[in-house]
Amino acid sequence: MTKPKILVTRPLVLFPSARAIFDAHFDAEYFPGRIPRDELLKRVADKDGLVCLLTEKVDEELLGIAKRLRMASTISVGFDNIDVPACSRHKVVATNTPGVLDDTTADFAWTLLMAIARRVLEGDVWMRSGTWPGWDLDQLCGGDVWGKTLAVMGFGRIGRGVARRAQGFHMRVIYNDAVRAPADVEKELNAEFVDRERFFREADFVSVHVPLMPETRHLISSENLGRMKPTAYLVNTSRGPVVDEAALAEALEQKKIAGAALDVYENEPKCNPALLKRTDVILTPHIASASVETRTKMAVMAAENVVALFDGRVPPNALNPGVLGVA
Ligand SMILES: NC(=O)c1ccc[n+]([C@@H]2O[C@H](COP(=O)([O-])OP(=O)(O)OC[C@H]3O[C@@H](n4cnc5c(N)ncnc54)[C@H](O)[C@@H]3O)[C@@H](O)[C@H]2O)c1
């Protein structure tokens, strides 16, 4: 029996356990590097399944070309790269990889939070410049983390992980979400639900963990940044367009907030040039889930989703199970 043909948009050299699953079940074609859009459209045309990253858009154009496609499996929890309603119209099952990256991403949000508050990068640059004259009382004084108020925007899997870590720093935790968390979760994490107004006004640290959707685009706006304390910091490890980068640069310039740490950008791989030159900003290249262990789990999970579909089962992380007649 011929195996289903799938396109995997990266070589997955670092993740042999995921590759082993693809090779055992499928006639798998791996793209050797970062796949350009025209190559993606060309190579997906005769495939039964697609395994992609958040850098590849699965949209009406692709679905119209890939007539045989039954599956689009993204190796990411965020699935704003996939037009799920369009997939449903084309009877393509879409899947993501939730859950396996929560702690690694929460760790990284904390890495950024600590680094921006305590001016770690500025210190590193100073040391390497060879111009540090030795200890002094007023050097690189940042803001304290312990005992402060952490404000978590989007209290889902990752947001809760970030809140959990705050307990060790004796912080007060407030959160805002479209849906209020159950009382037992609030109790366990010692977290208080607040409205948007209080959220921004009371925060010492805002950490953002919402998915990118029309409602969350530019949620971190000029207006909301203006509500924050001049001593407060912003951390974004969600999706770039959730933050209005121009408004952020302006807020920093006007000292409306003390600093920001970003892992994601409005127009990746670009970052607003006004942010690039600031020392009160830390910028990392979308690496919040980038540990070998976690990226391996994500790739394996994406593979298991594809295997399930072609075995006649509902993929565990189907975003539109209705395509398979499941509610
Ligand atoms: N930087 C990275 O590498 C990286 C890694 C992992 C996840 N992410 C991003 O983080 C996001 C969150 O991941 P998760 O697994 O915690 O998702 P999740 O679905 O568990 O949590 C998202 C939360 O946001 C809330 N929400 C939705 N719309 C909202 C709104 N308008 N206002 C307030 N809250 C709203 C939801 O109710 C939910 O509680 C992902 O969608 C992804 O985009 C980025």
The tens digit of pLDDT for each residue in 180-221 reads: 999 999 999 999 999 999 999 999 999 999 999 999 999 999
Atom of ligand 1 nearest to the CA of 160: 16
Considering the candidates 10, 239, 266, 304, report the single residue annotated as catalytic: 239
* DSSP codes joined into one string, 196-208: HHHHHHH-SEEEE
- Using CB atoms within 10 A of its CB, is residue 299 exposed (0-12), middle (13-18) or buried (19+)? buried
Average pLDDT over residues 37-51: 98
Q: 242 with 218: CB under 8 angstroms?
A: yes
Helix extents (H) in 90-134:
102-117, 120-129
Atom of ligand 1 nearest to the CA of 290: 3
pLDDT in the model for residue 181: 98
Question: 28: which residues sit within 8 A by CB, 6+ positions away?
Answer: 5, 6, 7, 8, 19, 22
Query: How far does residue 155's CA lie from ligand 1's centre (Å)?
Result: 8
> Is 122 one of the catalytic residues?
no
The 10s digit of each residue's pLDDT in 77-113 is 999 999 999 999 999 999 999 999 999 999 999 999 9
Average pLDDT over residues 305-315: 98
**Ligand 1 within 6 A of CB of 108:** no
Phi then psi for 274, rounded to 5 degrees?
A: -65, -25
Query: How far does residue 78's CA lie from ligand 1's centre (Å)?
Result: 7
Can you read off the two tokens belonging to residue 33?
């590097």
Average pLDDT over residues 123-143: 98
Question: 144: which residues sit within 8 A by CB, 6+ positions away?
Answer: 117
Bridge partners (DSSP) of residue 95 are 73, 318
**Does the pLDDT at position 33 exceed 90?**
yes
The best mutation among 97, 103, 209, 265 to test binding of ligand 1, ranked by most ligand atoms within 8 Å of the C-beta, falls on 209
Average pLDDT over residues 31-46: 98
Average pLDDT over residues 58-74: 98
Atom of ligand 1 nearest to the CA of 239: 43
Give residue 1's pLDDT band: very low, low, confident or very high (50, 70, 90).
Answer: confident
Query: How far does residue 106's CA lie from ligand 1's centre (Å)?
Result: 12
> Is 239 one of the catalytic residues?
yes
The 10s digit of each residue's pLDDT in 229-259 is 999 999 999 999 999 999 999 999 999 999 9
**Ligand 1 within 6 A of CB of 319:** no
CB under 8 Å, gap of 24 or more: what pairs does 284-289 form? 284/108, 284/112, 287/108, 287/263, 288/101, 288/104, 288/105, 288/108, 288/109, 288/237, 288/263, 288/264, 289/101, 289/104, 289/105, 289/108
Atom of ligand 1 nearest to the CA of 263: 1
**Ligand 1 within 6 A of CB of 155:** yes
Question: 185: which residues sit within 8 A by CB, 6+ positions away?
Answer: 160, 191
**Ligand 1 within 6 A of CB of 208:** no
In angstroms and rounded to an integer, the radius of gyration of the C-alpha atoms of the chain is: 22
The 10s digit of each residue's pLDDT in 7-21 is 999 999 999 999 999
The amino acid that residue 194 corresponds to is V
**Ligand 1 within 6 A of CB of 256:** no
CA 302/CA 8 separation, integer angstroms: 10
The 10s digit of each residue's pLDDT in 249-307 is 999 999 999 999 999 999 999 999 999 999 999 999 999 999 999 999 999 999 999 99
Query: How far does residue 153's CA lie from ligand 1's centre (Å)?
Result: 9
Query: How far does residue 47's CA lie from ligand 1's centre (Å)?
Result: 31
Residue closest by Cα to atom 15 of ligand 1: 157
**Ligand 1 within 6 A of CB of 286:** yes
Phi then psi for 326, rounded to 5 degrees?
A: -105, 140
Taking residue 16's Cβ as centre, other Cβ atoms within 10 Å add up to 11
Strands 149-153 and 172-176: parallel
